[in-house]
Structure 1
């Protein structure tokens, strides 16, 4: 299992447009076999921060998705952030 999680920065006045531009990609990814979850969302405290969380069954599924994902073309540039891919060998209930 893979988790891709973190955040990145975009210009605060373009953040809403950036997140909304990804709505169709999120819908399609969540319907893709092997995508367990995907979220691109506005941070409630930092007006330039976008939070990213993806959960995939395997690296192979993620790579197959990336080949056909057709992400939106925006002219919005990243201004920093930190997103990492984590390989998970075990998961369980949080409580």
Structure 2
């Protein structure tokens, strides 16, 4: 059984670019969730306390599913759509899940 992967962190963009990036991420997230069976969750959200920051959360069935994500047509479309935007910082980390349990 493959180990699940969680990608979490943040990306900072010039304040004027964040809205455009978020709009592109909404479409990317929709297509990723619909077209990639290895994607369990994919959410990019605006940080309410920092006008530049986008919070990142992705949940994948395996490392292979995550690697394949970067080869899809919708990733290529996304990269074209955001080519002129300025990212000023990033911290993303991929975590291999050792154990999961429901929280109450």
State the TM-score, normalized to the length of structure 1: 0.91
Once the two structures are superposed, the pairs formed by residues 61-72 of structure 1 within 5 Å of their partners are 61-68=65-72, 69-72=75-78
More helix by share: 2
Retained in 2: the 8 A contact 1:43–1:50? yes
Which residue of the partner structure matches residue 28 of structure 1? 31
Which blocks of at least 5 consecutive residues in structure 1 are unaligned? none
Gaps of 5+ in 2: none
- Kindly provide the CA deviation profile for residues 7-35 of structure 1, in whole angstroms up to 9, marking residues without a partner as x: 01101111111110122211111121010
- Is contact 1:22–1:71 with CA below 8 Å preserved after alignment? no
Structure 1, 66-75 or 18-27: larger mean CA deviation: 66-75
Q: Normalised by the size of structure 2, how large is the TM-score?
A: 0.84
Quote how far apart the aligned CAs of 1:83 are.
0.9
Moved more, 64-73 or 32-41: 64-73
For the aligned residue pairs, the C-alpha RMSD in angstroms reads 1.2
Count of paired positions: 95
Please give the alpha-carbon distance, in whole angstroms, between the structure 2 residues aligned to 1:23 and 1:40.
Answer: 8
User: Which consecutive segments of 4 or more residues in structure 1 shift more than 2 A?
Assistant: none
Structure 1 segment 33-48 matched on structure 2, within 5 A: 33-48=37-52
Q: What per-residue deviation string (whole Å, max 9, x for no partner) do you get for residues 74-93 of structure 1?
A: 11121113110000021111
